[in-house]
């Protein structure tokens, strides 16, 4: 339905309502059949999925390649440091994401 191109009476007829709004019994019936007018929340990703998702970032991929090259060259300490930095970055990213999700939940409650 493209209500913006229709006249008021046609829109009201299409929606099955009156200009004054729904009668109380019709509102109750629609509430029972359709439920409350609210958005469904998106299902949250599990923590492990968020963690693995951080490895899709271009900079992380570059660091992984650099760590692999360092390891291939026998520079074990440098490669371990790079791997630790990548893991720390991923953990911080997941923590920030979870905090943001909980902040949004708290905000939607009030």
Query: What would the pLDDT profile of 23-81 be if each residue is shown by its tens digit?
Result: 888 889 989 998 888 777 778 889 999 999 999 999 999 999 999 999 999 999 999 99
Taking a C-beta distance cutoff of 8 angstroms, is the pair 6, 17 a contact? no
Per-residue model confidence (pLDDT) at position 27: 86
Per-residue pLDDT band at 104 (split at 50, 70, 90): confident
State the average pLDDT over residues 95-100. Answer: 93
Same domain? 102 vs 77 = yes
Q: Is the pLDDT of residue 11 over 60?
A: yes
Per-residue model confidence (pLDDT) at position 81: 97
Q: How many domains does the chain divide into?
A: 2
Cα distance between residue 61 and residue 18, in whole Å: 59
Q: Is the pLDDT of residue 110 over 60?
A: no
Task: State the residue range of the domain holding 8.
Answer: 3-34
Within a domain: 42: no
Q: How many CB atoms lie within 10 A of CB 79?
A: 19
First and final C-alpha spacing in the chain: 33
Same domain? 24 vs 51 = no
Within a domain: 20: yes
């Amino acid at each position: 339905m493209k209500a913006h191109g229709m006249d008021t009476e046609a829109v009201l007829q299409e929606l099955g309502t009156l200009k004054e709004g729904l009668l109380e019994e019709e509102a109750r019936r629609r509430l029972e059949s359709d439920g409350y007018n609210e958005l469904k929340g998106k299902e949250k990703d599990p923590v492990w999925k968020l963690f693995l998702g951080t490895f899709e970032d271009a900079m992380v991929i570059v660091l992984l390649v650099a760590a692999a090259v360092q390891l291939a060259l026998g520079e074990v300490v440098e490669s371990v440091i790079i791997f630790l930095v990548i893991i720390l970055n991923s953990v911080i990213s997941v923590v920030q994401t979870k905090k943001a999700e909980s902040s949004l939940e708290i905000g939607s409650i009030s």
